[in-house]
């Protein structure tokens, strides 16, 4: 099994918004050329600074949104949120992966561990579909299916030992 990154829909949306900010910042900075042609040096410097500030904000937003993801590999599932701490659970400790529906308890894709505890994968939170107020968003269902599939692959490669 290779490494897979599963990203929240909101995180992907913020990455696109960040790209838009960088695009706006670049064209804002390029507007300084027009100001220089007109002979407005102070205005050109201010516009370049504004453009660079917008570019920096876009890059920062992109990096934060990119950080919010779950990573699935042979060892287990690791995740991090935009600002929060990172988490990791090895597949050996996972008994079951649960993808709660909207009406079920749980705020995110859940890992039920062998010791009985439940660990939510924080960046894979439940969100409702825009077209159906009672159903889960498709990205959430796909992300949950990816975690289930990775766990099943690990189980197939590492059958449980007799007790």
The CATH code that applies to domain 70-157 is 2.30.29
Tens digits of residue pLDDT in 50-67: 999 999 999 999 999 988
**pTM for the structure as a whole:** 0.77
pLDDT at 98: 92
Quick one: average pLDDT of 1-16?
Answer: 82
Beta-strand runs (E) in the chain: 4-7, 69-72, 76-80, 86-90, 94-98, 108-113, 118-125
pLDDT at 108: 87
pLDDT at 77: 94
- Tell which residue, 91, 87, 81, has the closest CA to residue 150: 91
pLDDT at 129: 60
Quick one: average pLDDT of 63-87?
Answer: 90
Model confidence band, residue 48 (pLDDT cutoffs 50, 70, 90): very high
- The top-scoring range by mean pLDDT among 2-11, 52-61, 100-109 is 52-61
- The CA distance from 150 to 72, in Å, is 7
Whether 132 has a pLDDT exceeding 70, the answer reads no
- The CA distance from 128 to 135, in Å, is 6
Quick one: average pLDDT of 78-96?
Answer: 91
* Residues 6 or more apart whose Cβ sits within 8 Å of residue 159: none
């Amino acid at each position: 099994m290779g490494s897979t990154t599963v990203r929240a829909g909101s995180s992907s949306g913020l990455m696109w918004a960040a790209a838009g900010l960088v695009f706006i910042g670049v064209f804002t900075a390029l507007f300084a050329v027009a100001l220089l042609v007109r002979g407005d040096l102070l205005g050109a410097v201010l516009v370049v600074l504004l453009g660079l500030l917008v570019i920096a904000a876009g890059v920062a937003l992109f990096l934060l949104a990119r950080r919010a993801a779950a990573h699935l590999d042979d060892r287990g599932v690791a995740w991090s949120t935009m600002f929060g701490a990172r988490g990791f659970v090895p597949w050996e400790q996972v008994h079951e992966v649960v993808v709660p529906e909207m009406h079920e308890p749980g705020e995110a894709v859940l890992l039920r561990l062998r010791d009985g505890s439940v660990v939510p994968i924080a960046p894979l939170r439940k969100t409702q579909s825009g077209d159906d107020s009672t159903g889960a968003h498709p990205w959430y269902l796909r992300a949950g299916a990816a975690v289930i599939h990775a766990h099943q692959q690990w189980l197939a490669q590492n059958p449980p030992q007799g007790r």
